[in-house]
Amino acid sequence: MSTIIRPALLALATCALFVAMAGLFALRQSIWIDETTQLSGLALDFRTQLAWLAGSSDVNLGVPPDRMPPLSYWLGGLWTEVFGLTEGSMRWFGIVTVLVGAPALYLAGRRAAGPWGGVFCLTFVLLSPGILVQAVEIRAYPLFLTFSAWGYWCFAELVLAGEKRGHGTRWLLILLAVFVLAASYTHYYGLVFGFCLLCALIADRVFRGLPVAPVLVAASGTVVISVGLVPFLLSAAAMTASAASGSADIIPSASSLTETLVGLARLSLRSFLHGSHLVYPTIAIVAVLGVVSLAGLALVGRSMAARSTMLLMPVLVGLVLLAIANLMNPGFSVLAPHYNLWMIPPVAVFFARAFVQGAGKRLRIILQRAGASAIILAHLSASVVLLSNARYFTHGPGEWVASMISDPNRTLVLHDSTGPWAQAYFPLYALTEGEAAQILLVANEEPVWLTATGRKSLSSDINSLLAEFDTVLYVSIRDRNTQFLGRRIRNGETCGGSHAIPLPDISDRFMEPKFYCAYASATLMRVAPIHD
């Protein structure tokens, strides 16, 4: 009985710990550009929202349009009917959504390696600080992860259960098609997920001499129903092309093979590492040693290696597909880890295969426990780093800048154009409902108003304009990387001292600066009133 109860209790404890840690991080996370889009889109009625996502609506929300399919909006809308449309409510929607995928992770791991394999899958995914961050996103990513987990569970059942009676296989294929469709209508990379599962299933059936026809029938039905995505895909493609043509500065050069290989390595590492692991290198080293140990165990023995490799086959196919896409389409972040969250469940189940008992049982158990303990210890240590330094890992300074504003109608915000100013502009627009006036300071050019309909020239001199507001804030933003933030966390340093002043004629009125340290770091200075 203990072989059932103990894993079940540990699984429940893992879920509870995930909820607690994700809930704590949700309190510290800051709204960013894409979240302003999701929150604004959720406020639309169904018909307007559908037209807006399909690019056939003239509605202007004052924030960037979305390139996502509609399912995250539909399910999010149902949530808001009960819990309201607030930042906190929607962050908990993400947490609950990921929790709904937890049984799929456990079932897939248990199918691959027994109850302890199921527990390991849960801990590997839910206690990862990277998943804690993704879980509170007000975007499609938590849903995408959950649908991917359930879809992969179906795949694992088909691969590991052998050839069942036709009725059982048929229902698994139907369920798989449903979850792939749900993932695809949540995020376009669901189509990539489905294609990779299809290739892996065909390879598995050919290898084992099983009929491929049922898989092809299920795939055909999935493709037919996926046609509904075409209007949204066309809209997304048009927006991407429009954004790229809007500024030559954002059009990247073609990715080289070396750059693509580096990107693939980074994506692979991000399946189990987060920036918080890298703050203290020892944590990252422990995690790497743990996964190397479990990967070795998962590949011991010809039969063991064959089944484990087949479980990882969707990821292997995906890496090849993404490499080709990255070489052919440099204008899009093909290898972005959050687009490829569908890879997390297969990776977790692959490592869980280490818990299958085989020859050399005593040594194998020692290595199992050592590898799993190393990964869990690294995850928990990194999560402590994440939660104790939460601001460093937030999206950016939008809410922090907004907290400096007492009366939006009497506030003017000056943005430094030499940095990623939109990281502050759009959150401020959403948080103040467009009431705070915002100006972009452009070096060697005239300042311009930033409005919901675009940029507009000032009708008066900047200095005379400043006198019309009670509060004037200057904001300069710089992108930072994990190495930069890690040094600040370890050494207790600020992110200060890196701001540009495009208008030196008012620089003598800048007051003591304040600093926000994160991946999008900010320097904020109040501009002293003229009468002072």
Grade residue 385 by pLDDT with cuts at 50, 70 and 90: very high
Between 52 and 462, where is the model more confident?
52
Measured distance CA(461)–CA(50) in Å, rounded: 43
pLDDT of residue 1: 53
Q: How many CB atoms lie within 10 A of CB 100?
A: 14
Measured distance CA(193)–CA(152) in Å, rounded: 9
Between 506 and 258, where is the model more confident?
258
Q: Is the pLDDT of residue 141 over 50?
A: yes
pLDDT of residue 304: 84
Q: How far is CA 246 from CA 240, 241, 254, in A?
A: 10, 9, 18
pLDDT of residue 349: 98
Q: At 263, which amino acid appears? A: G
Question: b/e string for 187-215 if b means 16 or more Cβ within 10 A?
Answer: bbbbbbbbbbbbbbbebbbeeeebeeebb
Of 133, 106, 127, nearest in space to 117 by CA: 106
pLDDT of residue 444: 80
Q: Once rounded to an integer, what is the mean pLDDT over residues 158-170?
A: 71
Q: Once rounded to an integer, what is the mean pLDDT over residues 176-198?
A: 98
Look over the chain and give the mean of its residue pLDDT values, rounded to a whole number: 91
Of 424, 343, 399, 370, nearest in space to 130 by CA: 343
Q: Is the pLDDT of residue 242 over 70?
A: no
Measured distance CA(517)–CA(510) in Å, rounded: 20
Alpha-carbon torsion (157, 162, 164, 166), positive or negative: positive
Q: Once rounded to an integer, what is the mean pLDDT over residues 9-30?
A: 97
pLDDT of residue 245: 56
User: What are the pLDDT digits (tens) for 485-527?
Assistant: 999 999 887 776 556 666 666 777 778 889 999 999 999 999 8
Q: Once rounded to an integer, what is the mean pLDDT over residues 140-162?
A: 95
Say if pTM beats, i.e. exceeds, 0.85: yes
User: What are the pLDDT digits (tens) for 31-67?
Assistant: 999 999 999 999 999 999 999 999 888 889 999 999 8
Q: Find where tokens 């449309």 sit.
A: 85
The residues with which 524 forms a beta bridge, in sequence order, are 475, 514
Measured distance CA(273)–CA(307) in Å, rounded: 25
Q: How far is CA 137 from the centre of its chain?
A: 7
Q: What is the DSSP letter of 65?
A: P
Which distant-in-sequence residues (6+ apart) come within 8 Å of 183 by Cβ? 144, 147, 148, 151, 189, 190, 193, 194, 342
Which region, left, alpha or beta, applies to residue 480 given φ > 0 means left and ψ of -120 to 50 means alpha? beta
Q: Is the pLDDT of residue 529 over 90?
A: no
Q: At 334, which amino acid appears? A: V
